[in-house]
Structures are given as C-alpha cells and as structure tokens.
Amino acid sequence: MRMIDDFPDGLIISGGKDTVIEVRNPAKGPEDSAEALLLGHGNNICALDVASDGKYIISGGWDSEARVWPVGKWESEVVLREHQGSVWGVLAYDSDTVITGVDHER
C-alpha cells in the first residue's frame, strides 16, 4: 500500500456526475494516467473532503452514501448508507469523526 508520503506534491481529487472520483498528481500532465479512479458511488458525487493528516478521502453523493477512501489503498473502507437523501456535504472533522450533510427532501 502506498502512503501519503509517496505524494510530496500532493494530490488533486475531483468527482462529478460520472460517479468516478479521479485522483491525480499535480506534477503530471493531463495526458498522464491518474493515480487512481475511485469507483463505488451509484450516482453523482456532490462532496469531497480530505482528512487533515492526508490519510483518507471522504465522498458524498446523490446515492445517499458517504464513503471513506484510504489514500494509497484506493478502495472504500467504510460506506455510510443510512442517509435519507443526497449527501451534499462531508467533513473529515478529525481522525475519528466524519460529519455529513444531507438533503432530506427528495
């Protein structure tokens, strides 16, 4: 497994209506392959955050799920499925706490 120290230039993380979260090295050009494509959401990705220690990514989507993705492992480690609507906001509050914001009107 790759560690966050393997990315001294940081990472660019983006997601959208194609349900894919793309992770790129900012030092590489657009023609270069992404570091990872994170797959798992079933609908648009609405929100992304990164833990302050850089060890995991949080995502939220229209599929009423929030996911935790360890950096370097690139597979969702935790899936929060109990939301009653789209997850419009996510926050990696600290190393043990994730906060989600949900639109309950569907």
Cα separations (Å) of 21 from 17, 33, 74, 87?
Answer: 10, 14, 10, 15
Q: Which residue has the higher pLDDT, 1 or 72?
A: 72
Give 96: exposed, middle or buried? Use CB within 10 Å, 0-12, 13-18, 19+: exposed
Q: Which residue has the higher pLDDT, 1 or 44?
A: 44
DSSP state of 94: E
The mean per-residue pLDDT over the stretch 7-17 comes to 90
Question: Tens digit of pLDDT for each residue in 73-98?
Answer: 999 999 998 888 999 999 999 888 99
Question: Going from the N-terminus, what domains does the chain have, and what CATH number goes with each?
Answer: 4-103 (2.40.128)
1 falls in which pLDDT band (50, 70, 90)? very low
